[in-house]
Amino acid sequence: MRLIILSSLAGTCSSRNVLSRAGYTSNVLFEIDNGTCTARKSVNSPDASSSTFAIIEPNNIISIQKAVLLELFGSNTQNIWKASIASVQFPRHPTKEISAKKAKSLAPKYFSIPKEYSNY
């Protein structure tokens, strides 16, 4: 869940000039807690030099959690503690045709994968 939030956060933080003195490409630590994002230069940075803003409304946290669970795991999973990575549901990407030359070069790599990992 956090990766989804952080990937969409980059544009938000940039548009709000979060830690502008550090620069957009500098390393910034994002702490996310109950829908609030705190951006700091490092873990030891004082609160006074950090920027804090809401990324979701505190009143909607439960409904957002339910929506994310439904989207990722389907209607059979009622809470995150009963979720399984095996039940994650992502949309299928269209297949991409590859040339015979590419298939020949990939075959040794594919068949070198141990059988216990071939389902992934």
CA distance 47 to 38: 9
Q: Pick the residue with more confidence: 11 or 108?
A: 108
Written as six digits, the tokens of 5 are 């939030």
Q: What is the C-alpha separation between 120 and 118, in angstroms, rounded?
A: 5
Q: pLDDT band for position 63 (50/70/90)? A: confident
Tell me how far apart the alpha carbons of residues 107 and 102 are, in angstroms, rounded to a whole number: 9
CB 71 within 8 A of CB 83: no
State the average pLDDT for the chain: 72
Q: Is the pLDDT of residue 18 over 60?
A: no
What ranges do the domains of the chain cover?
1-55
The predicted model gives 28-53 an average pLDDT of 80
